[in-house]
Structure 1
Amino acid sequence: MKPADDAAQQALDAVRDSLRDLIDDADTPSSVREALQAEYSDLQTLWQKLEGNELHVAVFGRVSVGKSSLLNALLARNVFATGPLHGVTQRADTDQWTRLGDSAVRVFDTPGIDEIDGQGRERLAAQVARRADLVLFVCDADLTQLEYAALAQLAATHRPLLLILNKADRYHQAERARLLDRLRERTATLLQPEHVLSAAADPRPETVVRIDANGEETESTRPRAPDVAEVAARVSEILEREGLLLSALNAGLYASEVSDTVAARVADIRSTAAQRVIRGYCLGKGLAVAINPVPLTDLAAAAALDVSLVFHLGRIYGLPVTRHEAGRLVGVISLQLAALMGAVWAVHAASSLLKTLSAGLSVTVTALAQGSVAWYATYVIGQVATRYFVNGRSWGPGGPKRAVNDVLSLVDRESILAEARQALTERLRRQRQ
Structure 2
Amino acid sequence: RLARRRPRLVVFGRVGVGKSSVLNALLGSLCFAVDVAHGCTRRQQQAVWIPPAPIPGLQAVDLVDTPGLDEVQGSAQGRLARRLALGADLVLLVLGGDVSAPEATALMELRRSGKPVLLVLNRADTWTPAERRQLVAAIGGRVRQLLGDGAIRTAPLMIAAAPRQPQQLPDGRIRSEATPPQVQPLQEALLHLWRSDGARLLALNSLQAASRFQRLLMRCRLQQRRARAQQLIGRYAVAKAAGLAVNPVMLVDLAGAATADTGLIVQLADLYGIPLPGAGPQRQALLRQLGTTLLWVGGAQLGLQGALGLVKHLLLAAAPFTGGLSLAPAGPVALAQATLAVHTTRLLGRLTAHRLVAAEALRLSPSATMAQRLVRQRRPHAPWLCWTQAEELRGQPFARKDAALLP
TM-score bracket, normalised by the shorter chain, equals: 0.5 to 0.7
Of the three residues 64, 76, 88, the one matched with 2:28 is: 76
Provide closer, same or farther for how the CA distance between residues 353 and 271 of structure 1 changes in structure 2, counting only shifts above 3 A. Answer: farther
The one-character-per-residue Cα deviations of 1:170-224 (angstroms, maximum 9, x if unpaired) are 223443343334333433445335x4112221223541455xxxxx867665431
Cross-structure match for 1:7: none
**Structure 2 CA distance for aligned equivalents of residues 147 and 315 of structure 1:** 47
2:117 is the alignment partner of 1:161 = yes
The one-character-per-residue Cα deviations of 1:364-415 (angstroms, maximum 9, x if unpaired) are 443333323433564576468658965999xxxxxxxxxxxxxxxxxxxxxx
Provide closer, same or farther for how the CA distance between residues 176 and 277 of structure 1 changes in structure 2, counting only shifts above 3 A. Answer: same
* CA contact 1:206–1:224 (8 Å) conserved in 2: no
**Structure 1 CA distance for aligned equivalents of residues 355 and 78 of structure 2:** 43
Q: CA deviation at 1:60?
A: 0.8
Higher RCO (CA 8 Å, separation ≥ 6 residues):
2
Q: CA deviation at 1:232?
A: 1.3
Q: Identity of aligned pairs, percent?
A: 31
**Structure 1 CA distance for aligned equivalents of residues 358 and 127 of structure 2:** 63
Cross-structure match for 1:135: 91
Equivalent position amino acid for 1:368 in 2 = L
Cross-structure match for 2:202: 247
The one-character-per-residue Cα deviations of 1:25-79 (angstroms, maximum 9, x if unpaired) are xxxxxxxxxxxxxxxxxxxxxxxx2122111111111111111111111111122
2:163 is the alignment partner of 1:203 = yes
Cross-structure match for 2:180: 225
| Aligned-partner SS, 1:68 | helix
2:83 is the alignment partner of 1:123 = no
* CA contact 1:142–1:182 (8 Å) conserved in 2: yes
Provide closer, same or farther for how the CA distance between residues 169 and 360 of structure 1 changes in structure 2, counting only shifts above 3 A. Answer: same
Of the three residues 47, 50, 56, the one matched with 2:8 is: 56
Provide closer, same or farther for how the CA distance between residues 223 and 265 of structure 1 changes in structure 2, counting only shifts above 3 A. Answer: same
Q: CA deviation at 1:109?
A: 0.8
| Aligned-partner SS, 2:190 | helix
**Structure 2 CA distance for aligned equivalents of residues 163 and 242 of structure 1:** 17
Worse overlay, 245-254 or 258-267:
258-267
Give TM-score scaled by structure 2 length: 0.63
Worse overlay, 113-122 or 336-345:
336-345
Cross-structure match for 1:403: none
> May I ask how many residue pairs the two structures share in their alignment?
330
Give TM-score scaled by structure 1 length: 0.60
Q: CA deviation at 1:115?
A: 0.5
Q: CA deviation at 1:261?
A: 5.7
**Structure 1 CA distance for aligned equivalents of residues 345 and 182 of structure 2:** 75
Gaps of 5+ in 1: 1-48, 211-215, 394-433
| Aligned-partner SS, 2:48 | strand
**Structure 1 CA distance for aligned equivalents of residues 359 and 125 of structure 2:** 63
**Structure 2 CA distance for aligned equivalents of residues 157 and 386 of structure 1:** 29
**Structure 2 CA distance for aligned equivalents of residues 367 and 340 of structure 1:** 14
Worse overlay, 91-100 or 355-364:
355-364
Provide closer, same or farther for how the CA distance between residues 121 and 343 of structure 1 changes in structure 2, counting only shifts above 3 A. Answer: closer
* CA contact 2:167–2:175 (8 Å) conserved in 1: yes
Provide closer, same or farther for how the CA distance between residues 388 and 181 of structure 1 changes in structure 2, counting only shifts above 3 A. Answer: closer
| Aligned-partner SS, 1:94 | strand
Of the three residues 309, 333, 336, the one matched with 1:369 is: 336
Cross-structure match for 1:28: none
Equivalent position amino acid for 1:344 in 2 = Q
* CA contact 1:131–1:250 (8 Å) conserved in 2: yes
Provide closer, same or farther for how the CA distance between residues 379 and 79 of structure 1 changes in structure 2, counting only shifts above 3 A. Answer: same
Q: CA deviation at 1:111?
A: 1.1
**Structure 2 CA distance for aligned equivalents of residues 256 and 165 of structure 1:** 34
* CA contact 1:60–1:110 (8 Å) conserved in 2: yes
Q: Which is greater in Rg?
A: 1
The one-character-per-residue Cα deviations of 1:243-295 (angstroms, maximum 9, x if unpaired) are 111222233345435534644664577577535642564356436754x5x86
* CA contact 2:78–2:109 (8 Å) conserved in 1: no
* CA contact 2:77–2:105 (8 Å) conserved in 1: no
| Aligned-partner SS, 2:195 | helix
**Structure 2 CA distance for aligned equivalents of residues 219 and 380 of structure 1:** 81
**Structure 2 CA distance for aligned equivalents of residues 391 and 68 of structure 1:** 45
* CA contact 1:206–1:221 (8 Å) conserved in 2: yes
Provide closer, same or farther for how the CA distance between residues 380 and 186 of structure 1 changes in structure 2, counting only shifts above 3 A. Answer: closer
* CA contact 1:155–1:191 (8 Å) conserved in 2: no
Cross-structure match for 1:172: 128
Cross-structure match for 2:384: none
Matching of residues 375-390 of structure 1 within 5 Å: 375=342, 378-379=345-346, 382=349, 386=353
Q: CA deviation at 1:159?
A: 3.7
Cross-structure match for 2:104: 148
* CA contact 1:347–1:370 (8 Å) conserved in 2: yes
Cross-structure match for 1:313: 268
* CA contact 2:11–2:93 (8 Å) conserved in 1: yes
**Structure 1 CA distance for aligned equivalents of residues 153 and 194 of structure 2:** 16
Provide closer, same or farther for how the CA distance between residues 353 and 163 of structure 1 changes in structure 2, counting only shifts above 3 A. Answer: same
**Structure 1 CA distance for aligned equivalents of residues 358 and 141 of structure 2:** 49
2:61 is the alignment partner of 1:105 = yes
Cross-structure match for 1:278: 233
Equivalent position amino acid for 2:337 in 1 = Q
Provide closer, same or farther for how the CA distance between residues 380 and 209 of structure 1 changes in structure 2, counting only shifts above 3 A. Answer: closer
